[in-house]
């Protein structure tokens, strides 16, 4: 019943392994995308004292299918003065990297498409390519709102890359390898307990990278009327929508693998544990979306450069010191120590953190 992973010397050779896992990954992304859109709308609605979609199919489970059909059947409008080739390519460039991330995430012990020994580095590199797609979309739409949205997107992604990468490096130090499979194997204690500050920094930074509330100012509904998405309709818009949820899924999967112990857990089969943890992280993302207002662009960048970046450096320094100076001490000792240090640092840094100037003299 448990899924058998295919060893490299399986008689089907490399290409069969690749084909099977590609099919699995594509199916996984598409099915989870449908499930996530449904789950988000229902959870958001119940937290807002109303019912979500519950007409299309039992409990509204066919609602994503209905949405997909609607999106496919819409007319494809291209702005007359926009750059047509760029306009056509932008959704593709935005969506494909989100899929590529899943090549290195282990669904079960050893079950992954390619066990790269630079796993985390590959993920970080690939996930930045979506920004190019979004900027192409903003540029090619020939619309001032889209361009504003695209500019904000670039500023925010560039600012948040650094704290995200630095917080992951702490985990890499503890696990001793960049490969995701080794990181999962090294988590006898889940790294969320050993690196609480790293988890928080990574989570906030990742939310900013994928443009979810409270950082969704590139597609702020109430200001820019959907930002770079304005001039898109039909399946091209559908691809942007798909890209947003695929990235949210990717972030949940990365957080699960790197901080929560991946597929490890008692009792239940491994792939089920993976799905449960991904689901929990996604629920937290939706919960945050329900509650918190949006930040402004300069506050966003101030948060990245003045708050998260120094904390990430300090986190790295403390982790490195702990590993070098006390290599034989059991890791359980570091759990309360790290949690205490995290709380102290956050409280201390909040006292000194000041946002930038708000009003400009014109």
Closest distance between other proteins and the C-beta of residue 17, in Å?
A: 42
Closest distance between other proteins and the C-beta of residue 3, in Å?
A: 33
Closest distance between other proteins and the C-beta of residue 342, in Å?
A: 12
Q: Which is nearer to other proteins, 139 or 145 (CB)?
A: 145
Name the packing angle between helices 129-140 and 144-175 (round to 10°): 180
Residues 119, 181 contacting (CB under 8 angstroms): yes
Closest distance between other proteins and the C-beta of residue 298, in Å?
A: 7
- According to CB under 8 A, which one of 23, 125, 298, 317 is a site residue for other proteins? 298
Task: Sketch the per residue contact string, 224 through 263, with other proteins: x for CB under 8 A, - otherwise.
Answer: -x--------------------------------------
Judge if the upstream peptide bond of residue 214 is cis by omega within 30 degrees of 0.
yes
Stretch that binds other proteins, among 83-91, 141-149, 164-172, 234-242 (CB under 8 A): 141-149
Backbone angles phi, psi at 298, to 5 degrees: -75, -30
Is residue 142 close enough to count as binding other proteins by CB under 8 A? no
Is residue 115 close enough to count as binding other proteins by CB under 8 A? no
- According to CB under 8 A, which one of 291, 317, 332, 337 is a site residue for other proteins? 291
Query: Which residues, 6+ apart, have CB-to-CB distance to 231 below 8 Å?
Result: 77, 78, 79, 82, 87, 141, 142, 143, 146
- According to CB under 8 A, which one of 221, 317, 332, 340 is a site residue for other proteins? 221
3-state percent breakdown (helix, strand, coil) of the chain, nearest 5: 70, 0, 30
Q: Which is nearer to other proteins, 218 or 256 (CB)?
A: 218
Q: Which is nearer to other proteins, 124 or 288 (CB)?
A: 288
- According to CB under 8 A, which one of 80, 324, 325, 360 is a site residue for other proteins? 360
Query: Which residues, 6+ apart, have CB-to-CB distance to 91 below 8 Å?
Result: 133, 137, 232, 236, 237, 239, 240, 243
Query: Which residues, 6+ apart, have CB-to-CB distance to 216 below 8 Å?
Result: 294
Closest distance between other proteins and the C-beta of residue 161, in Å?
A: 21
CA–CA gap between residue 264 and residue 221 (Å, rounded)? 39
- According to CB under 8 A, which one of 80, 293, 325, 328 is a site residue for other proteins? 293
Is residue 145 close enough to count as binding other proteins by CB under 8 A? yes
CA–CA gap between residue 286 and residue 279 (Å, rounded)? 10
Residue 13 Rama label (left phi>0; alpha psi -120 to 50; beta): left
Task: Sketch the per residue contact string, 33 through 72, with other proteins: x for CB under 8 A, - otherwise.
Answer: ----------x-xxxxxxx--x------------------
Backbone angles phi, psi at 341, to 5 degrees: -60, -40
Q: Which is nearer to other proteins, 182 or 290 (CB)?
A: 290
Backbone angles phi, psi at 354, to 5 degrees: -130, 135
CA–CA gap between residue 196 and residue 201 (Å, rounded)? 9
Stretch that binds other proteins, among 12-20, 140-148, 268-276, 322-330 (CB under 8 A): 140-148
Q: What is the token pair recorded at 45?
A: 């609605």
Residues near other proteins, by CB under 8 A = 43, 45-51, 54, 144-145, 148, 213-214, 216-217, 220-223, 225, 287-299, 346-347, 350-351, 353-355, 358-362
């Amino acid at each position: 019943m448990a899924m058998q992973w295919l060893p490299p010397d399986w008689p089907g050779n490399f290409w069969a392994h690749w084909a099977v896992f590609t099919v699995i990954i594509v199916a996984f992304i598409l099915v989870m995308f449908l499930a996530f859109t449904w789950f988000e709308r229902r959870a958001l609605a119940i937290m807002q004292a109303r019912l979500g979609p519950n007409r299309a199919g039992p409990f509204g489970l066919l609602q994503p299918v209905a949405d997909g059909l609607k999106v496919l059947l819409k007319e494809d409008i291209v702005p007359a003065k926009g750059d047509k080739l760029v306009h056509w390519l932008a959704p593709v460039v935005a969506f494909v990297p989100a899929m590529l991330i899943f090549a290195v995430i282990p669904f079960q012990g050893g079950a992954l498409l390619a066990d790269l020994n630079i796993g985390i580095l590959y993920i970080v590199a690939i996930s930045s390519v979506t920004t190019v797609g979004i900027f192409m979309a903003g540029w090619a739409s020939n619309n001032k709102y889209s361009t504003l949205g695209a500019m904000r997107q670039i500023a925010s992604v560039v600012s948040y890359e650094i704290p995200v990468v630095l917080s992951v490096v702490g985990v890499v130090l503890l696990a001793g390898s960049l490969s995701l499979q080794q990181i999962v194997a090294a988590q006898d204690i889940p790294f969320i307990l050993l690196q609480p500050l790293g988890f928080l920094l990574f989570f906030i930074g990742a939310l900013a990278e994928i443009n979810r509330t409270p950082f969704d100012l590139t597609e702020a509904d109430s200001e820019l009327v959907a930002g770079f998405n304005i001039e898109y309709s039909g399946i091209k818009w559908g691809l942007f929508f798909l890209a947003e949820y695929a990235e949210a899924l990717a972030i949940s999967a990365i957080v699960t693998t790197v901080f929560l112990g991946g597929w490890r857990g008692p009792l239940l089969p491994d792939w089920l544990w993976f799905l449960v943890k991904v689901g929990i992280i996604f629920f937290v993302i939706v919960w945050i979306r329900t509650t918190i207002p949006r930040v402004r662009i300069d506050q966003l960048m101030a948060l990245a450069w003045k708050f998260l970046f120094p904390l990430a450096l300090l986190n790295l320094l403390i982790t490195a010191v702990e590993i070098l100076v006390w290599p034989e001490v059991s890791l359980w000792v570091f759990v309360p120590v790290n949690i205490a240090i995290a709380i102290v640092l956050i409280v201390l840094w909040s006292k000194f953190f000041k946002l930038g100037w708000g009003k400009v003299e014109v």
